[in-house]
Amino acid sequence: MILNEAVQEAINAQINNELFSMYSYLSMSAYCEHKQFRGCAHWMRLQSEEEHGHAMRLYDFLIARQGRVKLQPIAQPQFDFASVPDVFQKAFEQEQQVTKQINELYEMAFNEKAFAALVELEWFINEQVEEEKTARDIVYKFQLVKDDPAALLDLDRELGARAPDQAAATE
Ligand SMILES: [Fe+2]
Ligand SMILES: [Fe+2]
């Protein structure tokens, strides 16, 4: 069964949103490198790769359902930030935004009775719960640490220890 046009268009739009997240996290990573927060930069770079994975999930789904992938230009992400903690605050806000996008997409697929799309999108709904929680936890840690240099270095080291998410890559 071929997906209807409106659902295809909405999934293509979400592919673009995920690619924008990928770009945005990469820009955040570059900013962290510039500020010598190598651990934070590593964390952001992995997050960027995860977002690419999200885009590819939807890409593969469209192809499996005989849809057409239509790539759009990716908007320019934020270049400068007030500070490294501000980067994580922006990341958290971005994840809240993506949750909203996914919810709207789910609602639309529901109204269109696109059942296979609903099942696929359930993965994204779960993922957004995790993404928001992870970002919120890090924002909270930066609030605790404030300007204490030793604690900031520790936090940078902790974030630098993040390993690639094998589960997300192979699911
Ligand atoms: Fe995502
Ligand atoms: Fe995300």
Residue-wise pLDDT for 15-27, tens only, equals 999 999 999 999 9
- Give the distance (Å) from ligand 1 centre to CA of residue 49: 10
Between the CA of 3 and the centroid of ligand 2 the distance, in Å, is: 25
- Point out the ligand nearest to the CA of residue 123: 1
Give the number of the ligand closest to the Cα of residue 94. Answer: 2
104 alpha carbon – ligand 2 mean position (Å): 16
Closest CA to 154 of 144, 164, 167: 144
- How high is the mean pLDDT of the chain? 95
CA-CA-CA-CA dihedral for 64, 65, 68, 72, to nearest 10: -80
Which residue is it, tokens 């790539």? 71
d(CA 148, CA 54): 36
Task: Report how far ligand 2's centroid is from the alpha carbon of 134 (Å).
Answer: 10
pTM for the whole structure = 0.94
Q: Has residue 124 got a pLDDT over 90? A: yes
Q: Cα–Cα distance between 31 and 14 in angstroms, integer?
A: 25
Nearest to 105, CA basis, from 3, 12, 2, 1:
12
When pLDDT is averaged across residues 152-165 and rounded to a whole number, the result is: 95
- Residue 86 CA, ligand 2 centroid: distance in Å: 17
pLDDT score for 1:
67
